[in-house]
Amino acid sequence: MSRLHVVSGKGGTGKTTVAAALALALAAEGKRALLVEVEGRQGIAQLFETEALPYEERKIAVAPGGGEVYALAIDAERALLDYLHMFYKLGSAGRALKKLGAIDFATTIAPGLRDVLLTGKACEAVRRKDRAGRFVYDHVVMDAPPTGRITRFLNVNDEVAGLARIGPIHNQAQAVMRVLKSPQTAVHLVTLLEEMPVQETVDGVAELRAAGLPVGGVVINMVRPEVLDEAAVEEAANGRRDAVAAALAEALARTSSGGGSRAGAAGALVGPLLDEAREHTGRLALERLGRSRLAELSLPTSELRLLGDGVDLAGLYRMARALREQDIVRRDAGEREGAARRTTASHGGTSYDGTSHDVTSRTTEGAQ
């Protein structure tokens, strides 16, 4: 079963929010999850309404059923100091190098080394066991770089090839890749039903597969509800403005004591309403095209509805509950890309403003 969940997505798709909700979902029923941030944005601290995360694992939330979520903001410089101390016994000498600026220099001019340090810290947490031989964390969730950089970020073997072909750095890269390319890992991509995010998701999946990295599932975030039924969509698409305006004016004239004046004023509203309806139907057509393209990836695809009031802590828990109800949380990466099968299930949820909404999970699997 997957224990390292790497969450990526085009900027603006809500990947950090989905990663945080996924960590809460995975920690349910007494589990322990570690949520890792690697880009230095402190987005996790903002979501959980806490102070900036230090370079240490800190409990930030209690999940339903008594589980725990810990968080860690990985800093490449601090990780390199740990690395130098662990493999080269450079304690005070390493700190002296930091004061001289050598640590910052090394992590800046060698981005491959930086990525090895960041991913290596997460992989170490995946492998770590307590004195009883049990894993310290049941799951590790990484809020990873955007889709356009995710394959290069994870494919650390290629990144360090020019730095070291033997020695501790090479060995560290090999150890990281053994985790990243194993069934323990699943890379999930967050997208929106918009042209550019969908295209980046399609390209990202192709790159991950070409690199031999295990793709988990796709989360379509911020899905807007379809407020018109199929008949209304067809009417709006056909643009029957005059017929609708005439019918509305006639109906109002029959029911209004004011007669034609009210009917005429109401008729003037028909144009803007139909324009809005046509815009809605055009967007629906693009969204359906996006869903069709994502379905061709043969991956589990979960949908989270657009929630109007923004993401607060209570909303994050509601998102976690929605994700727990969907297969993307429960199934391991090997099953995700198995034999062809498609299931559709609807689950009740609660939006951030407290109103009821549906969370739809569409799971599509097929031979690659």
Does any domain span residue 73? yes
Note whether 123 and 256 are same-domain residues. no
Note whether 249 and 328 are same-domain residues. no
Domain boundary among 248, 266, 290: 290
Does any domain span residue 239? yes
Residue 361 has pLDDT above 50, yes or no: no
Residue 201 has pLDDT above 60, yes or no: yes
Residue 7 has pLDDT above 80, yes or no: yes
Note whether 150 and 264 are same-domain residues. no
The secondary structure of the chain, three-state, reads CCCEEEEEECCCCCHHHHHHHHHHHHCCCCCEEEEEECCCCCHHHHHCCCCCCCCCCEEEEECCCCCEEEEEECCHHHHHHHHHHHHHCCCHHHHHHHHCCHHHHHHHHCHHHHHHHHHHHHHHHHHCECCCCCECCCEEEEECCCHHHHHHHHCHHHHHCCCCCCCHHHHHHHHHHHHHCCCCEEEEEEECCCHHHHHHHHHHHHHHHHCCCCEEEEEEEEECCCCCCHHHHHHHHHCCHHHHHHHHHHHHHHHCCCCHHHHHHHHHHHHHHHHHHHHHHHHHHHHHHHHHHHHCCCCEEEEEECCCCCCCHHHHHHHHHHHHCCHHHHCCHHHHCCCCEEEEEEEEEECCCCCEEEEEEEEEECCC
Does any domain span residue 80? yes
Does any domain span residue 295? no
Does any domain span residue 354? yes
- Total domains present in the chain: 2
Task: Dump pLDDT digits (tens) for 270-309.
Answer: 667 767 777 777 788 889 999 999 999 999 988 898 877 7
Does any domain span residue 347? yes
Note whether 242 and 212 are same-domain residues. no
Note whether 178 and 278 are same-domain residues. no
Owning domain of residue 241 = 230-290
Task: Dump pLDDT digits (tens) for 64-110.
Answer: 899 999 999 998 777 777 766 665 555 544 454 444 444 454 545 55
Note whether 220 and 236 are same-domain residues. no
Residue 266 has pLDDT above 90, yes or no: no
Does any domain span residue 250? yes
Domain boundary among 250, 272, 290: 290
Note whether 350 and 217 are same-domain residues. yes
Does any domain span residue 79? yes
Q: In this structure, what CATH number is given to the domain that contains residue 333?
A: 3.40.50.300
Residue 263 has pLDDT above 70, yes or no: no
Note whether 194 and 248 are same-domain residues. no
User: How many whole angstroms separate alpha carbon 199 and alpha carbon 293?
Assistant: 9
Domain boundary among 248, 264, 290: 290
Note whether 244 and 358 are same-domain residues. no
Residue 357 has pLDDT above 60, yes or no: no
Higher pLDDT, 45 or 242: 45
Note whether 49 and 110 are same-domain residues. yes
Backbone dihedral angles phi then psi of residue 240, each to the nearest 5 degrees: -80, 65
Over residues 174-188, mean pLDDT: 93
Note whether 185 and 240 are same-domain residues. no
Task: Dump pLDDT digits (tens) for 158-171.
Answer: 766 556 566 677 78
Note whether 174 and 101 are same-domain residues. yes
